[in-house]
């Protein structure tokens, strides 16, 4: 499938969708605390997307080939869950880490972003993993500009992550996005510089590294969706949607509550 380039008017629609997705995370940040279930977080997010934003939660009933329809409106991946965790009634407890992944559809455009949250008082290890995964995402974002290659993004993420003693999940990657949830290109979070597709203005895709504290191997749980680390080590993920511009990169999934960039990225 070819890569679909976005026009200026397309990008305006995607900015709106991206901001709305990020604002759902802003809202949920107030509710992530010990004793709250991920089912409750899903309800809060669903109500806000549908009734306040006038948007559609993209994950709800999403069913790619070979998958049963996803049953919830957000993904919540806790501790050793890597991605696609399904919200349930289990209360969060102090020390848990949780990735909340939000995708909204507004006026036909998708906005996709995720953040890590530490519930209560997290361990030093958990805090370090979440922070370094955030930095890994940003090292990938800083490679986005016309003339660069997708391999430059993956290499920046992989080399930094592995230098810190962590591992990068390889079975899942970032993706093009627009009127479809998942478009070309695939954005690997590992690789060699100077390889794969050249970046040109109008390309829009997610950068969403999944980083494990232990080994990179994963497995799928019986629900058909939730991915976990094989060695049960902690896993973290952050995600932004970015657009390639004439002179660099624009992050489309920013909101008032978005965490600032790390210092090396101008934060």
- The count of other CB atoms within 10 Å of the CB of residue 75 is 24
**pLDDT at residue 243 in the model:** 98
| Contact assessment for residue 20 and residue 55, using Cβ atoms and an 8 Å cutoff | yes
Widest Cα–Cα separation across the chain? 48
Residue whose C-alpha is closest to residue 172's, from 161, 160, 182: 182
Structural domain boundaries in the chain:
8-255
**pLDDT at residue 1 in the model:** 78
Backbone torsion region of residue 149, taken as left when φ is above 0, otherwise alpha when ψ lies between -120 and 50, otherwise beta: beta
Tens of each residue's pLDDT in the chain, 267 residues: 799 999 999 999 999 999 999 999 999 999 999 999 999 999 999 999 999 999 999 999 999 998 999 999 999 999 999 999 999 999 999 999 999 999 999 999 999 999 999 999 999 999 999 999 999 999 999 999 999 999 999 999 999 999 999 999 999 999 999 999 999 999 999 999 999 999 999 999 999 999 999 999 999 999 999 999 999 999 999 999 999 999 999 999 999 999 999 999 987
Cα–Cα distance measured from residue 68 to residue 190, given in angstroms and rounded to the nearest whole number = 29
The torsion angles phi and psi of 50, rounded to 5 degrees, stand at -80, -45
**pLDDT at residue 230 in the model:** 98
Residue whose C-alpha is closest to residue 80's, from 101, 94, 97: 97
Structure tokens of 261?
Answer: 């960039």
**pLDDT at residue 80 in the model:** 98
Q: Note if the bond before 90 is cis, omega within 30 degrees.
A: no
The arrangement of secondary structure in 8-255, i.e. its CATH architecture, is Alpha-Beta Complex (3.90)
pTM of the complete model:
0.97
């Amino acid at each position: 499938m070819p890569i679909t380039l976005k026009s200026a008017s397309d990008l305006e629609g995607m900015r709106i969708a991206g901001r709305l997705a990020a604002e759902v995370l802003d809202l949920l940040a107030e509710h992530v605390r010990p004793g709250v279930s991920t089912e409750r977080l899903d309800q809060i997010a669903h109500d806000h997307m549908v009734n306040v934003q006038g948007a559609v939660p993209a994950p709800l009933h999403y069913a790619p080939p070979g998958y049963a329809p996803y049953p919830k409106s957000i993904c919540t991946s806790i501790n050793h869950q890597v991605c696609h965790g399904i919200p349930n009634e289990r209360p969060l407890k102090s020390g848990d880490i949780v990735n909340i992944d939000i995708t909204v559809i507004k006026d036909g455009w998708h906005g996709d972003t995720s953040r890590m949250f530490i519930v209560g008082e997290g361990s030093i290890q958990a805090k370090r993993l979440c922070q370094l995964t955030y930095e890994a995402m940003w090292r990938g974002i800083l490679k986005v500009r016309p003339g660069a290659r997708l391999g430059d993004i993956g290499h920046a993420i992989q080399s930094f992550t592995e230098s810190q003693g962590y591992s990068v999940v390889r079975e899942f990657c970032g993706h093009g996005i627009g009127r479809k949830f998942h478009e070309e290109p695939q954005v690997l979070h590992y690789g060699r510089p100077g390889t794969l597709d050249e970046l040109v203005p109008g390309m829009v895709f997610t950068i969403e590294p999944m980083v494990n504290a232990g080994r990179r191997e994963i497995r799928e749980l019986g629900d058909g969706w939730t991915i976990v680390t094989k060695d049960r080590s902690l896993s973290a993920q952050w995600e932004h949607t970015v657009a390639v511009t004439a002179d660099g990169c624009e992050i489309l999934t920013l909101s008032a509550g978005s965490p600032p960039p790390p210092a090396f990225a101008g934060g």
